[in-house]
Amino acid sequence: MTVQPNSIEARDKAYHLHSYTNARALERDGALVIDRGEGVYVYDVNGKKYIEAMAGLWSVGVGFGEQRLVEAAATQMAKLPYYHTFTARAHSPSVDLAEKLIAMAPVPMSKAYFTNSGSEANDTAVKMVWYRSNALGKPEKKKIISRIKGYHGVTVASASLTGLPNNHRSFDLPLPGILHTSCPHYRVFKTDGETEAAFVERCAKELEDLILKEGPETVAAFIGEPVMGAGGVIVPPAGYWEAIQKVLKKYDVLLIADEVICGFGRTGEMFGTTTYGLQPDIMTLSKQISSSYQPISALLINDNVYAPLADESNKIGTFGHGVTAAGHPVAAAVALENIAIIEERDLVGNVRALAPKFQSRLKALEGHPLAIEARGVGLIGALELKPRDGFAAGQLGPKLFAIMTEKGLISRAIGDSLALCPPMIITEQQVDDIFDLFEASLDEFQRQLNA
């Protein structure tokens, strides 16, 4: 990319440190600067059009430029632009959203608690688990088990839960007391001749063995995404969650369902919890809760979590946790309107209707000479590239990603997997457009590799 002096790209290079970016490479190459969005499309500052096949960061469910969300934000901004929820204060949008989320919850929940991001929600879940254990007179019951390749955020505690090496390297993470068990990726982690059912049984046994090794009296909770997202779109094998939950119940270990990516329709149900038969004690929600038009996240907690927490706050005199913008009235108003759009337009039904075509076209790419595996559910998927001599693991994905971007398709390279997660408003023709561009990009990459 040629960056002109004094351009927005040049100023970005000069002043802006980016997330998940090689800072030195950015200094050399510059960033793609997006100027506007409309439906499933975004446009860069030069006017080039892209299909945003990742919905931003797995999050813009209702598409870009939704006027109803703009109006909801403006109306609330004019009425009450900010207020907090500390010290027994409230406002209508936070109350309405809490009530709506409890009513929508796929399993009985008692209270909603608001934060600003998925990372903060999972970080707060850790603190709630620790607080609860102290309230129950079990100060030793504090360890939390996550999974290899799980993704739960980047704050200190949530990054510790995340099971990806680059979220730990040079950050001195994970924290003590955060443990990791097996990743349910059958193709990668199966042993020779191991059936899928036997693999599931082994995953459950490895979890149980870890709990027994640490001592059940020290293990408080297990966290997992219904479908792993940023770890590479890893869909659990049949029976996996049933087997895992049996172990958790046996040893009185809470289940935290990280619905940050799966929630609000992505899997073809309103929540991945329903898709996979989970019975969580805590659910963390973000991204599609507002289609990321505003930063907001939430935890839903059942009475098994809430009652000890409430008792402890009464004993101490306060629940000493909170962030300035938690339950922000503008963000809450936008989230309410976003959920209304999802329900009124039956976007979850649109996911179910288009999922067969989306998954069929994704699966067809598995036959490409460069591909090794297609994975997905609903309107979420990934294609993994075959290892290739002369390329280290993780080098192929970014090269294909660059070709796709040049052709006008925005994906996300997760190592050597290319992920897709388009807005839920997508049409059948737009699904075909995505995969036509994906296939053309694969063919172009193959030509380049063979040149």
Q: What is the pLDDT of residues 222-236, one digit of tens each?
A: 999 999 999 999 999
In the predicted structure, residue 1 carries a pLDDT above the cut 70: no
Per-domain residue ranges of the chain? 32-62+346-450, 69-344
For residue 150, the cross-strand partners are none
pLDDT confidence bin for 4, thresholds 50/70/90: confident
From CA 281, how far away is CA 273, in angstroms rounded? 11
Q: How many CB atoms lie within 10 A of CB 71?
A: 13
Q: Which fold has domain 32-62+346-450?
A: Aspartate Aminotransferase, domain 1 (3.90.1150)
- Which pLDDT belongs to residue 451? 85
DSSP-assigned letters across all residues of 227-286: SB-TTT-BPPPTTHHHHHHHHHHHTT-EEEEE-TTTTTTTTSSS-HHHHTT---SEEEE-
Across 97-126, average pLDDT? 98
Helical spans, DSSP H, in 294-387:
303-316, 329-344, 347-365
Average pLDDT over residues 127-154: 98
Q: Indicate the CATH number of 69-344 among 3.30.9.30, 3.40.640.10, 3.40.50.300, 3.40.50.2300.
A: 3.40.640.10
Question: Is pLDDT above 90 for 110?
Answer: yes
Q: How far apart, in Å, do the first and last CA atoms of the chain sit? A: 23
- Backbone phi and psi for residue 206, each to the nearest 5 degrees, phi listed first: -65, -35
DSSP reduced 3-state for 64? strand
Task: Determine the average pLDDT of the residues in 91-109.
Answer: 98
User: How far apart (Å, rounded) are the C-alpha atoms in residues 346 and 62?
Assistant: 11
Which residue bears the tokens 């409309």?
A: 38
pLDDT reading at 313 higher than 80: yes
| Amino acid occupying residue 244 | I
Is pLDDT of 424 > 70?
yes
What pLDDT score does 3 carry? 66
How far apart, in Å, are the Cα atoms of 222 and each of 147, 164, 202, 247, 442? 9, 17, 17, 10, 38
User: Is the pLDDT reported for residue 274 higher than 70?
Assistant: yes
Mean pLDDT computed over 6-18: 94
pTM: 0.96
Name every residue whose Cβ is closer than 8 Å to that of residue 32 and which is 6 or more positions away in sequence: 1, 44, 405
SS (H, E, C) 150-198: CCCCCCHHHHHHCCCHHHCCCCCCCCCCEEEECCCCHHHHCCCCCCHHH
DSSP 125-156: HHHHHHHHHHHTT-TT--EEEEETT----SSH
Dihedral over alpha carbons 195, 223, 416, 59 (to 10 degrees): 130
> What would the mean pLDDT of 199-226 be, rounded to a whole number?
98
**For residue 289, which phi and psi values (nearest 5 degrees)?**
-60, -30
Q: What pLDDT, in 10s, does the model give residues 385-401? A: 999 999 999 999 999 99
pLDDT tens figures, 344-376: 999 999 999 999 999 999 999 999 999 999 999
Residue 435 has pLDDT above 60, yes or no: yes
**Strand pairing category for 49-52 and 143-147:** unpaired
What rounded mean pLDDT belongs to the chain? 97
Q: Judge whether 71 and 81 are in contact, CB under 8 Å.
A: no
